Structure 1
């Protein structure tokens, strides 16, 4: 019999089930997770575990959706939950693993085809995109499997079994020998969280994305976070951060009662400064958890710390004011004015504010870090760099000219190190200094052709587009230079990637094609995607964002982009026309005003 096709992939059904309900072309930013799912218990108003097999009914699409959610939850029960969905006579085909070897294969669903067979069973073929491997330490590692399709069967409970529960609903036949988890189930039954590690000189905390099952009760959350910290950073982040001292172990479990949490570590450190840094590390890694923390080192108690007060006194990022919008108008940087937003003055002297193609500016206390791409004539470009108090009046220029230079980005630091940044020139990644000296940065990538780079607010992580693929990598700033750790490739449903910037600690803004030009928000492991704009209409050649953060937050993510020579902003979405450019004279009668280009944020 001809197969019945579930078009648009199960992912469409699941996204609707997650309660988003936002049109694809909407400019709404979605934070948090969706609606309620039936299951055991509830966390934050949603099901903490996916529906059981008897609760999954007899509708093929719903049952398969729940089967691909069954592994979600605490790892030690993952096989037990999945085997409930498998017919008893086929459960031996799923070879069980134990302890840290338990891993979930996370996939993005493309399509499902159901074919009814003559024996009343149904053959299911799902087309997937491999996203990664969810490990017991909460990390989503790069994918290991290469399968793009999985096939299994379904039969009615009435075709076998004797008990009431066994007769109800459906069973899986010939299951895949892996624990499959859909990307939507990952979003629905886990909370994504950041834990933090110190960079190499212990001047900056760097976030590391993890997933905690919603089924983990609140009183055990502290214990899980401490175990993650003891286990060390994610593999891709390791070159840019330092973990806890070797052989650090948790003594018993972290405990808590009446908003007081006790953590006891067997750790070889007697330096009080390091212990104080660990308390700060714990406070930020515990997110918004309130209450008091009592840290013990080998049963020796430290002074009790209020978690909120510690976070307030030890800021993550060295920013004190919100972002100001600027753009390039007729070769000069100009402020962009929008009602209700702060508007600044150009931090460059008029004598050097000319021939500018694009710019990356940053604040470092009272110092302005200015890096610009300037036109040197005949289609060639140079990098121009200047630092100092505003207005910056002296610019150094790169020794070489290039056919094309990307928007430069600064690596923000919290110490007295000289300022350094990154830029792409003629398909190669370079670091630059305050004198505009450029040094090529080696990258271990299949393709050497780099087209875009963006730096996180912590200055220790970068995102790259190279060979049409998206990567993230750790930055090592030791020794006065800049080295990039092995880049981690990210899987995304976008193609033709053209621009990237950081939208938050654990999210990227990425421009590419989803059948037509679009801008997506993508998690640092590629698992979670949110369309931000799907009606761009032309290739995005410039994208900039103010990253959401807890130091100087904005109510919604702010980004701007340029496509086909026209700049736009979000929230609310609008074209950035010449009327938004401050301090310009109106054009002569009959002459049409130019459009501003290459918009950026100064913060």
Structure 2
């Protein structure tokens, strides 16, 4: 399957792209290919596998696994029909009545253990118990919404299709349309659409899923339908939709690089059409050619899709990315292979007693947020911004027992920077003067980590060992929306960052309690193990969600465990001799708290 990562176009402008593909092995050093060619008109967007059928297995366990794939294996309108092929006539009523296709929700589950199979009794009936983790509900609009139930196991009963012949049929099934997460990955393609933030200055990604068998014409129609509908519920705080009453008129049409979209849009002036043109260009990243925008059958704008993406970058340009770590209480550059390096953008007098830090490019300047430890072993936040070297850092009025690595909100005003940090179990926002104010959150347990996305309107946070995502609005102040919990195989999550536009990298414990690092989609739908057998709890984690010529590879991340720093691509410890600009007389130690400046 094609994979796309964030890419840098000419001029160093960071651009968004889709998620990694499915079918990645359980542990892998992920390498990212370039975007595949745009599909031709009438072509399939993927290579859908053949839908499973009841005849594919005569064994109860594999039969149930195929049943959990069936509903996802094709167009949504036929989901119930595909599932009922596995069910005996006397039990078909056990599934809920077929709803309208627009109302069908597929309950996506992750199998936690091997299926428990009870051998057939004298009547040839067997029972299969499936232990699951609820992942979410796949809606008709392609959104993987939060789970609607907390069920942890489902029980199926089977009999022989013919008492004297092969084949099986279900005689007892759960009263929901179940789909395994592996089926979601096999029969659906992740697809990103984009909504504008409140002041229409920044595009914000919204992850959707589309059957892999959908042809290109249908893709355009679905994207238009999604954009004229609502964003995912958890994103509403950070985005704004199209004008009320905007609706598609008929399906999109087109072929050979010429597409046509017909809409009704109240108040469709040049500004609104220009904003929609940018949304469409980024929401259809594999299409090139021209797209005619019609409003009530009148052509109002012709969009060159590639030119639109080039002229209107989704994310702002940044400087050359570089790696840093903390060494003997100061931020120091790292020398990793032939990757670019940058000087620490701080005066030496401010680069002391540092426990962790976040540096970010903003326009022609740099933002710096340092967690510093005082003689009393309590921590404070120091903040500054401007041209390098950043001077005149402000210090938070309060001190705290423990402060997490800060994160900058990249969508905030360059002259009024803002960020988030976890301190003593609570989430705080901070400004350029290091003024901290608590952000109220309805989450259980202490908040220990927070990370902001490249678009600046989404955050991931760790609270009580669980992982959450939330939308952020910076219009008139920093407002964090209601956090959405994500299903992950890891427990006791300790750290998180953004690995790709719609993927997180997180650290916690696998079911056998061994510390590990996983990759997880922003809705919890797809998860893979990146690093196992770490041997110690990961205390800090930092990723670089981009790719540039000569820069860190896409999906690069670094972490701290047992007071030592490590990196991937390939996995290796970061050695003291890889730390640059260390003054004479410094204490010999391991580099810690690694991070990226970009």
TM-score by shorter chain over 0.5: yes
1:492 aligns with one of 488, 491, 495: 488
CA pair 477-19 structure 1, distance change in 2 beyond 3 A: closer
Indicate whether 1:501 and 2:497 are aligned. Answer: yes
Q: Deviations over 1:542-570 (max 9, x none)?
A: 00000137999965310000000000010
Deviation at 1:587, TM superposition (A): 6.3
Preserved CA contact (<8 Å) 2:450 2:461 = yes
CA distance, structure 2, for counterparts of residue 131 and residue 74 of structure 1: 21
* Secondary structure of the corresponding residue to residue 47 of structure 1: coil
CA distance, structure 1, for counterparts of residue 525 and residue 468 of structure 2: 13
Unaligned runs of 5+ in 2: 1-21, 35-41
Residue 47 of structure 1 is matched in structure 2 by 48
Residue 147 of structure 1 is matched in structure 2 by 151
Indicate whether 1:97 and 2:99 are aligned. Answer: yes
Deviation at 1:293, TM superposition (A): 1.0
Unaligned runs of 5+ in 1: 1-17, 33-40, 161-166
* Secondary structure of the corresponding residue to residue 377 of structure 1: coil
Q: Deviations over 1:501-529 (max 9, x none)?
A: 11111111111001200010111111211
2:459 aligns with one of 459, 462, 471: 462
CA pair 58-417 structure 1, distance change in 2 beyond 3 A: farther
CA pair 415-428 structure 1, distance change in 2 beyond 3 A: closer
Preserved CA contact (<8 Å) 2:259 2:290 = yes
Alignment of 1:282-361 (within 5 A): 282-361=280-359
CA pair 507-551 structure 1, distance change in 2 beyond 3 A: farther
Higher relative contact order (CA 8 A, sep 6+): 2
CA pair 416-365 structure 1, distance change in 2 beyond 3 A: closer
CA distance, structure 1, for counterparts of residue 505 and residue 240 of structure 2: 27
Residue 601 of structure 1 is matched in structure 2 by 596
Residue 133 of structure 1 is matched in structure 2 by 137
1:273 aligns with one of 271, 274, 282: 271
CA distance, structure 1, for counterparts of residue 549 and residue 478 of structure 2: 26
Preserved CA contact (<8 Å) 2:358 2:406 = yes
Residue 519 of structure 1 is matched in structure 2 by 517
Preserved CA contact (<8 Å) 1:193 1:210 = yes
Deviation at 1:362, TM superposition (A): 0.2
CA distance, structure 1, for counterparts of residue 45 and residue 147 of structure 2: 30
Deviation at 1:90, TM superposition (A): 1.4
Preserved CA contact (<8 Å) 1:30 1:530 = no
Residue 70 of structure 1 is matched in structure 2 by 70
Alignment of 1:374-413 (within 5 A): 374-413=372-411
CA distance, structure 2, for counterparts of residue 491 and residue 30 of structure 1: 25
Indicate whether 1:475 and 2:476 are aligned. Answer: no
CA distance, structure 1, for counterparts of residue 468 and residue 124 of structure 2: 46
Residue 114 of structure 1 is matched in structure 2 by 117
Normalised TM-score (structure 2): 0.90
CA pair 151-552 structure 1, distance change in 2 beyond 3 A: farther
Q: Deviations over 1:123-179 (max 9, x none)?
A: 11111111111110000111112211111122222239xxxxxx6532122121111
* Secondary structure of the corresponding residue to residue 450 of structure 2: strand
Preserved CA contact (<8 Å) 1:495 1:513 = yes
* Secondary structure of the corresponding residue to residue 223 of structure 2: helix
Preserved CA contact (<8 Å) 1:374 1:383 = yes
CA pair 409-21 structure 1, distance change in 2 beyond 3 A: closer
Preserved CA contact (<8 Å) 1:406 1:424 = yes
Deviation at 1:319, TM superposition (A): 2.5
* Secondary structure of the corresponding residue to residue 144 of structure 1: coil
CA distance, structure 2, for counterparts of residue 364 and residue 602 of structure 1: 11
Preserved CA contact (<8 Å) 1:267 1:297 = yes
CA pair 191-121 structure 1, distance change in 2 beyond 3 A: same
Alignment of 1:385-464 (within 5 A): 385-413=383-411, 415-416=413-414, 418-447=416-445, 449-464=446-461
CA pair 235-45 structure 1, distance change in 2 beyond 3 A: closer
CA distance, structure 1, for counterparts of residue 211 and residue 415 of structure 2: 40
Please tell me the root mean square deviation across aligned C-alpha atoms, in Å. 2.2
CA distance, structure 2, for counterparts of residue 553 and residue 264 of structure 1: 42
CA pair 211-260 structure 1, distance change in 2 beyond 3 A: same
Alignment of 1:527-566 (within 5 A): 527-548=525-546, 555-566=553-564
Q: Deviations over 1:92-140 (max 9, x none)?
A: 2212222322100100012311112221122111111111111100001
CA distance, structure 1, for counterparts of residue 221 and residue 413 of structure 2: 32
* Secondary structure of the corresponding residue to residue 280 of structure 2: helix
* Secondary structure of the corresponding residue to residue 437 of structure 2: strand
Deviation at 1:20, TM superposition (A): 4.1
Number of residue pairs the alignment of both structures matches: 564
Residue 251 of structure 1 is matched in structure 2 by 249
Deviation at 1:30, TM superposition (A): 7.7
Preserved CA contact (<8 Å) 1:53 1:170 = yes
CA distance, structure 2, for counterparts of residue 382 and residue 243 of structure 1: 39
Residue 157 of structure 1 is matched in structure 2 by 161
